[in-house]
């Protein structure tokens, strides 16, 4: 994939009104009380009985086969189905996340991608609809190892090149990839952060980061992309906020 600065030519929506990622200016975010209580954000994931991993040339992706559901919070009455998760990261710990918080970049960002199963028939059908997708963004910071992520990081060596796929014969519970606090998040209307950049994503970015070990981050940086280079810095820089408001669920 070519550099983000070149995307505007092939994908004019790159300069659209609701592009992602964004810099989250915490002081400008508006507290939203009605995403609490009974309609708090809720995940109901079924653990995968085997794990399908793909090096798709610009990230490492886990394709979900079990029924996993995200509801509540900013999603109204709709039920969003977990489709896949993948990550973005830097060449070093000081950069790599797509969203930033008051200009701070994290080392990596995990995206759990869901599609609106209440209104659409598949991910492909939902991906171009303004209320089609919901993505959970989880910031990653260097620290202790994340045990559930070992299923991915321990297999990156076998997924080195673009197009490589494998099925790992082990279980994986996506719930264990989430931060302990899933009540505090920012949410706003945005887009896919890679081409085709469709403006179809309700973003939910958790305030609390998750720790991965240095080794787990190094495993990501040793992957090879579709250009045959080390897969690093596969993050899009923040786009203009334009006429949008970021909501927050915490004071």
Ligand X SMILES: CCCCCOc1ccc(S(N)(=O)=O)cc1
Q: Which stretch binds Zn ion (CB under 5 A): 40-48, 111-119, 122-130, 137-145?
A: 111-119
Residue among 81, 99, 111, 248 that touches ligand X (CB under 6 A): 111
Residue 210: Cβ within 10 Å count: 21
Under the binding rule (CB under 6 A), the answer on residue 113 touching ligand X is: yes
Tell me the helix, strand and coil percentages in the chain, rounded to 5.
Answer: 20, 30, 50
Distance separating alpha carbons of residues 52 and 167, to the nearest angstrom: 4
Distance separating alpha carbons of residues 235 and 41, to the nearest angstrom: 26
Residues 184-243 touching ligand X, rule: CB under 6 A, are 192-194, 196
Under the binding rule (CB under 5 A), the answer on residue 248 touching Zn ion is: no
Distance separating alpha carbons of residues 145 and 109, to the nearest angstrom: 15
CB of 143 to ligand X, least distance (A): 23
Per-residue interface string for the shown chain with ligand X, residues 129-168, x marking contact by CB under 6 A: ------x---------------------------------
CB of 135 to ligand X, least distance (A): 5
Given the residues 58, 86, 99, 111, the one annotated as active site: 58
Of residues 117 and 197, the one with the C-beta less far from Zn ion: 197
Under the binding rule (CB under 5 A), the answer on residue 111 touching Zn ion is: yes
196 binds, among Zn ion, ligand X, none (CB under 5 to 8 A by kind): ligand X
Is 58 marked active-site? yes
Which secondary-structure segment (H or E) carries 7? Answer: helix 7-10
Under the binding rule (CB under 6 A), the answer on residue 182 touching ligand X is: no
Mention every residue, 6+ apart, whose C-beta is less than 8 A from residue 104: none
* Torsions phi, psi for 51 (to 5 deg): -115, 120
Of residues 39 and 52, the one with the C-beta less far from Zn ion: 52
Q: Give the β-pairing of 165-168 and 51-55.
A: antiparallel
* Torsions phi, psi for 181 (to 5 deg): -95, 105
Q: Which stretch binds Zn ion (CB under 5 A): 42-50, 103-111, 115-123, 242-250?
A: 103-111
Say if CB 59 and CB 98 are below 8 A apart: no
Q: Which stretch binds Zn ion (CB under 5 A): 18-26, 72-80, 108-116, 217-225?
A: 108-116
Of residues 18 and 111, the one with the C-beta less far from ligand X: 111
Of residues 5 and 251, the one with the C-beta less far from ligand X: 5
> In whole angstroms, how large is the CA radius of gyration of the chain?
17
Of residues 182 and 214, the one with the C-beta less far from ligand X: 182
* DSSP symbols for 74-114: GGTT--EEEEEEEEEE-SSTT---SSEETTBPPSEEEEEEE
Interface with ligand X by CB under 6 A: which residues? 111, 113, 127, 135, 192-194, 196
Active site residues: 58
């Amino acid at each position: 994939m070519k550099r983000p600065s070149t995307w505007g030519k092939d994908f004019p929506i790159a300069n659209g009104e609701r592009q992602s990622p964004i810099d989250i200016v915490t002081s400008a975010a508006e507290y939203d009380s009605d995403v609490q209580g009974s309609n708090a954000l809720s995940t109901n994931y079924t653990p995968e009985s085997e794990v399908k991993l793909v090096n798709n040339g610009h990230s490492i992706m886990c394709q979900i086969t079990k029924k996993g559901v995200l509801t509540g919070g900013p999603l109204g009455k709709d039920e969003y189905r977990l489709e896949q998760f993948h990550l973005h990261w830097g060449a070093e710990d000081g950069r790599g996340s797509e969203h930033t918080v008051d200009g701070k970049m994290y080392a990596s960002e995990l995206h759990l991608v869901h599609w609106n199963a209440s209104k659409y028939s598949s991910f492909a059908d939902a991906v171009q609809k303004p209320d089609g997708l919901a993505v959970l963004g989880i910031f990653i910071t260097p620290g202790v190892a994340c045990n559930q992520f070992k299923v991915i990081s321990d297999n990156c060596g076998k997924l080195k090149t673009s197009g490589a796929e494998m099925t790992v014969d082990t279980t994986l519970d996506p719930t264990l990839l989430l931060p302990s606090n899933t009540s505090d998040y920012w949410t706003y209307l945005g887009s896919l952060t890679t081409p085709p950049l469709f403006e179809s994503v309700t973003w939910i970015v958790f305030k609390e980061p998750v720790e991965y070990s240095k080794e787990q981050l190094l495993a990501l940086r040793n992957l090879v992309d579709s250009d045959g280079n080390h897969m690093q810095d596969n993050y899009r820089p923040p786009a203009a906020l334009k006429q949008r408001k970021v909501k927050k669920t915490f004071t």
